[in-house]
Amino acid sequence: MSIIEAKNIYKVYNETKVPVNALNGVDLKIEEGEFTAIVGPSGSGKTTLLNILGGLDLPSKGDIFIEGTNLKDLSSRQLINFRLHNIGFVFQSYNLIPVLTAKENTEFILELQKVPKKERMQKALELLEAVGIADKVDHKPGQLSGGQQQRVAVARALASQPRFIIADEPTANLDSRSTNELLEIMAEMNRKYHSTFIFATHDQRVMDKAHRIVTIDDGKIIGDETFKGR
């Protein structure tokens, strides 16, 4: 069974005033361990699709199944809890909690999952070491570069051991060195932990690393290519 199955997804914004059709009948399946990039021009519906796949938004029509659970059947509280235990997020502008250190940011999600303190501390340190900032665990986001902050965000996304990670333009604010390092880390995590990554991106460097590229335009999937051997 696919991890994610989107069936005939439509998303209309502003339904009552001037309707904007962001998605027009999207069907998509994501398998475990995939390293998928969703690409397309601005306004093509990438972010909308990503939000729906990540349970941050619900489709106007159609169904989205995550390992057999239809997200439309979940209450708002159940959906929050579902995200907590099943989906990791990496955002374009890092979105770390500015008052917490790198270690605390990584631990935070584990605390929400009620993981015991000792265990979560150990796990946070382990992940921060894996993303290469073991020496900056006590730094707050304001004391870290963009690339370092995004690495903490990746560590945080992985900490909750999600079924998949949604990354919306994760490299958009990074220089090429940081981008390459981050992509290498995510690819390594994908190989090591078999973590499933879904990116929305414009960045050719991300596309070059992706195992699968789904192209979207005008709210429809217009291309879906798989690259074996990457």
Partner 1 sequence: MLFAIAWRNLWRNKLRSAIIFTSIAVGIIGSVVSDGFMSGMTDQRVNAAIANEVSDIQIHNPAFLLNGEMQYQIPDAGQSLKKIESIPDIKGVSLRMKTSAMAASANSGAGITILGVNPAAERKVSNLHALIIEGKYLSVKEKNPTVIGQKLAHKLNLELGDRLIVTLTDSSGTITSGAFRIVGIFKTANDRFDVANVFVNKKDLSNLIGYPANTGDEIAIRLKTNNQTPEAMKALHHIFQNEIQNKEIVVRSWDQIQPLLKSMISMMDYFSYIFLFIILAALAFAIINTMLMAVMERTREIGMLMALGMNKRKIFSMIMLETIFLSIVGAVLGLLISIFVINHYATYGFDLSSVAKGLNYIGYSSRIFFRVNTNFYVMSMVLVVLIAVLSSISPALKALKLQPAKAIREDI
Scan for tokens 């070491």, then name that residue.
129
Chain contacts with partner 1 (rule: CB under 8 A): 47, 51, 54, 56-57, 76-77, 80-81, 83-85, 89, 91, 93, 95, 97-100, 104, 107-109, 111-113, 156, 160
> How far, in Å, CA of 194 to CA of 24, rounded?
31
Amino acid at 135: D
> How far, in Å, CA of 75 to CA of 28, rounded?
23
Closest distance of CB 85 from partner 1, Å: 7
Closest distance of CB 80 from partner 1, Å: 5
Tokens describing residue 94: 């890092």
Q: How many CB atoms lie within 10 A of CB 171?
A: 25
Q: How far is CA 99 from CA 104, 120, 138, 166, in A?
A: 9, 19, 11, 24
Comparison of 57 and 181: residue with beta carbon closer to partner 1: 57
> How far, in Å, CA of 104 to CA of 15, rounded?
41
Tokens describing residue 221: 């999937």
Closest distance of CB 99 from partner 1, Å: 4
Closest distance of CB 174 from partner 1, Å: 18
Closest distance of CB 30 from partner 1, Å: 19
Closest distance of CB 84 from partner 1, Å: 3
Tokens describing residue 6: 């989107």
Comparison of 55 and 211: residue with beta carbon closer to partner 1: 55
The SS3 call for residue 166 is strand
Comparison of 121 and 187: residue with beta carbon closer to partner 1: 121
Comparison of 89 and 212: residue with beta carbon closer to partner 1: 89
Whether the CB-CB separation of 110 and 124 falls below 8 Å is answered with: yes
Comparison of 107 and 181: residue with beta carbon closer to partner 1: 107
Comparison of 110 and 133: residue with beta carbon closer to partner 1: 110
